[in-house]
Amino acid sequence: MQSVVQFIIAEQNADGGWGATTNIASDVDITSAAIQALVAAGNTGGTNAALTFLHAQQNADGGFPPQKPWATNSASTAWALHALAALGEPLSNWTVNGKTPRDALLALQHEEGWF
């Protein structure tokens, strides 16, 4: 397990996030997955920088795109919400224009219930 944690930490980009492969731009989905993996392994090394990256990616509607300047989508917002929950981050710390990521996700829900 330690070698997996070391690999994840070693692959963190300078902006605090992670990309889908080595030497690729960071994105919200992979960064959120890396945060969850580190928390599950009991090592939160690098997560402060990752939170800084996520804050920089958050859109004005409170949600998340895969990368700026794209629009908020339900998948990336859900990934970010999972990462924030894993770290015990209060959503009040993630309010933009009065909207949290949860608000943004619910706004993307269709009348039939799907996202």
- Predicted TM-score (pTM) of the model is 0.94
* pLDDT tens digits for range 35-50: 999 999 999 988 999 9
Q: Residue 2: pLDDT above 80? A: no
Structure tokens at 39: 């928390």
- Residue 107, C-beta contacts closer than 8 angstroms, at least 6 positions apart: 61, 63, 99
Q: Residue 27: pLDDT above 90? A: yes
Confidence of residue 1 (pLDDT cuts 50, 70, 90): low
